[in-house]
Amino acid sequence: MTNEVSQEQYAESLFGPDEVLNKVTASILEQGIRDISIVPGYGRLLTLLVKSMRAADALEIGVLGGYSGVCLARGLDKSGRLVSLELRPEYAELAHANLRMAGFGDQVEYRVGDAQDSLRQLEEEGRKFDFFFIDADKGNYPNYLEWALKLARPGALIVGDNTFMRGKTTDASQQGNAVARMREFNERIATDPRLDSVMLPAYDGLAIARVKESS
C-alpha cells in the first residue's frame, strides 16, 4: 500500500473548501446531472485570468450548473458582464439560480439554444468580448474557436477545457468525429498565426490562447 497522491490531488489539498462552489456541485448532483464541471484548479485559474486582464465582457459556451460561470464572474469587476450560452433550458435555469446564490445574478445573461445560432446573433448585434471559455460539445470546438476569433477584441483570451478528452486525443486508436475535431482544435490553438498560445497538460487538459493585437 502506498500513500502517494497525484500532483493534482496534492495541489488541490493546499486550498481550503469553497463553500459556494460546493453548493453549486451539490445542486448539480441533486438534479441527477452528471457533474462534468471544470476542475477546481482550473476554475481558480479562470478567475485569475479574467481578473488579471481586467476583462469587461466574458463569454462562455456551455454552462451546465454554473460552476465555471461563478469562477468567471469572480474575476469581473462590478461593471463586468458575462454572457453564457447553453443548449438546454434546464441547465441554464440551474446555472442562473447558482449565479444568483453566489451574488452574480445581475451580471450574467443567458442565451438558450444552439450555440452557433447565439454566436451568429451576437455577431449581428456587434458584440465583442475580452474573454472566452469553451466547454461544450467537443465536435464543435473548431467552430467555437473561429467564432471566438470573430467576436474577440484584440488581446482577448480564449480558453478551452477537456482538450485531452480523458486520453482519447492521445490515443491513435480513437478516430471518432468528436476526437478528430478536438485534435483539430488543439492543432489550431498551437499553430494559428492569429494566436499566442499554451497547452496545460494537467487534469484533462486546458488550452489558453491570446488573440494577437494585429488580428
Residues 78-124 pLDDT 10s: 999 999 999 999 999 999 999 999 999 999 999 999 999 999 999 99
Classify residue 1: in a domain, yes or no.
no
In order, the DSSP letters of 44-80 are: HHHHHHHHHTT-SEEEEE--TTSHHHHHHHHHS-TT-
Classify residue 186: in a domain, yes or no.
yes
Cell of 97: 439560480
Cell of 179: 476526437
First to last CA, the chain: 54
Query: What amino acid is encoded at 187 in this protein?
Result: E
Classify residue 2: in a domain, yes or no.
no
What total of structural domains would you count in the chain? 1
Gap between the Cα atoms of 209 and 3, Å rounded: 37
- For residue 215, pLDDT over 50 is answered with no
Expressed as residue numbers, the domain containing 36 is 7-211
Task: Give, in degrees to the nearest 5, the angle at Cα 206 between 122 and 175.
Answer: 90
* Closest C-alpha among 165, 203, 205, 206 to residue 12: 203
* Closest C-alpha among 86, 87, 56 to residue 72: 56
Q: What is the pLDDT of residue 69?
A: 98
Contact 185, 207 (CB under 8 A): yes
- For residue 203, pLDDT over 90 is answered with yes
Cell of 119: 454566436
Among 24-28, 63-67, 190-194, 211-215, whose mean pLDDT is lowest?
211-215
Classify residue 114: in a domain, yes or no.
yes
Largest CA-CA distance found in the chain, in angstroms, rounded: 60
Q: What is the pLDDT of residues 26-82, one digit of tens each?
A: 999 999 999 999 999 999 999 999 999 999 999 999 999 999 999 999 999 999 999
Q: What is the pLDDT of residues 110-159, one digit of tens each?
A: 999 999 999 999 999 999 999 999 999 999 999 999 999 999 999 999 99
Strand partners, 61: 85, 134
CATH number of the domain encompassing residue 45: 3.40.50.150
Q: Is 64 left (phi over 0), alpha (psi -120 to 50) or beta?
A: left
| Confidence category of residue 1, pLDDT binned at 50, 70, 90 | low
Contact 42, 66 (CB under 8 A): no
Q: What is the pLDDT of residue 213?
A: 86
Q: What is the pLDDT of residue 191?
A: 97
